[in-house]
Amino acid sequence: MPKILLLGSGELGKEFAIAAQRIGQTIIAVDSYENAPAMQVAHDFEVINMLDGEELDRIVAKHKPDFIVPEIEAIRTERFYDYENQGITVVPSAKAANFTMNRKAIRDLASKELGLKTANYRYATSSLELKKAVLEVGIPCVVKPLMSSSGKGQSTIKTQSDVDKAWNYAVEGSRGDVVEVIVEAFVKFNSEITLLTVLQNNNPTLFCAPIGHRQERGDYQESWQPAKISKKDLNEAKKMAEKVTQSLGGAGLFGVEFFLTDDGVYFSELSPRPHDTGMVTLAGTQNFNEFELHLRAILSLPIFEITLEKAGASAVILASENSNNPTYSGIEEVAKFPKTDFRIFGKPSSRPYRRMGVVLTNDTFETPIEEIVERAKKIATLVKVNS
């Protein structure tokens, strides 16, 4: 059976590893700390700094994987081209992983090369450049590190006095060795969606039903499927998603994010892997969840269709304090609710606002989606993460 080297072993990697185990794949989970969630369900694991190219080379040579599957951005992705030349399949492709590790590459590809509609944006490598960029794009605007995940380092500038604070916060939240930020004009959007897009080898590109989500501190709090969107906007989002994923190439599931505005659809961001908002698919909303779709596309297993089976929502369980031995209370209460499930990720430590689990709810399409989301949100507050 194929051997998969999973680079990044958080909760998304754990669900992917479980999906892979179910159909007999061998998983080696890699992360920067021991006992990461995916390591708990893998055949083997490695603890390395994935920004160290020599360390990456060492474990690739040691394990000789058939597939390299990145789960995070902070990896020395330029090494991926060498691995592809060695005959290893990088997921979705070396180009996709390399471009999307850095917001600059993917934004320039989308906006300048492919002509997708995006927010007006600039880059800055210092607080002085940031001040100039803010003047050009206007206030309010959003500042993000070029390399980060889960909203780390992201903030909104509302006045000129926010600039220095935004620069320092972005640098603190940045991953890797790139000290640069993207400054985006604030898009007045009505809602945000994630369009999970499945690029297949020798088969048509498929789309999941759109997923809506709400963010705080740049990180998702609740997501729901299906999201409300006009047929015109959905068709436009599909065209844009197919254009950018085809350009990146390879096979696998991409999480493509869009803003829905009065002025149409704006491309926002893209992840070449299962998306955190896509955890709602664990609520049984689809015939295959996003992790199963990613795996099947990688292995060139044909996916005949993706069907929406029910409406659903997810709500995150957050830690409120630091702990090196987190425990959980309230699980029994959650289990009492009908049409409800949950996941505890098994992270070995907690800190304020760290995502430690998720509550999942589902219902019929006749039930208002707002009601399903609110149920998930309320139930998630019953779980307490204790030190």
As annotated, the active-site residues are 149, 151, 257, 269, 276-277, 355
Describe the chain by its helix, strand, coil percentages, rounded to 5. 35, 30, 35
Tally of helices (H runs) and strands (E runs) in the chain:
11, 20
CA distance 371 to 377: 10
For the beta carbon of residue 202, count every other beta carbon within 10 angstroms: 7
Encoded tokens for 351: 């800190």
Relative to beta strand 44-47, strand 121-124 is unpaired
CA distance 211 to 195: 6
Kindly report the backbone phi and psi dihedral angles of residue 379, in degrees, each rounded to the nearest multiple of 5, phi listed first.
-65, -35
CA distance 262 to 260: 7
CA distance 387 to 325: 6
CA distance 362 to 1: 35
Beta-sheet strand order (sheet of 121-124): 121-124, 181-185, 141-145, 155-157
Angle at which helix 163-173 crosses helix 127-137, to 10 degrees, equals: 120
Encoded tokens for 333: 């209460």
H/E/C letters for each residue in 286-339? ECCCHHHHHHHHHCCCCCCCCCECCEEEEEEEECCCCECCCEEECHHHHHCCCC
Q: Among candidates 243, 209, 250, 251, which has minimal Cα distance to 228?
A: 209
- Cα distances (angstroms) measured from residue 210 to each of 64, 193, 226, 241: 37, 6, 5, 12
**Residue 216: partners with Cβ closer than 8 Å, 6 or more residues away:** none
Terminus-to-terminus CA distance in the chain, angstroms?
A: 41
Rounded to the nearest angstrom, the gap between the alpha carbon of residue 172 and the centroid of all alpha carbons in its chain is: 20
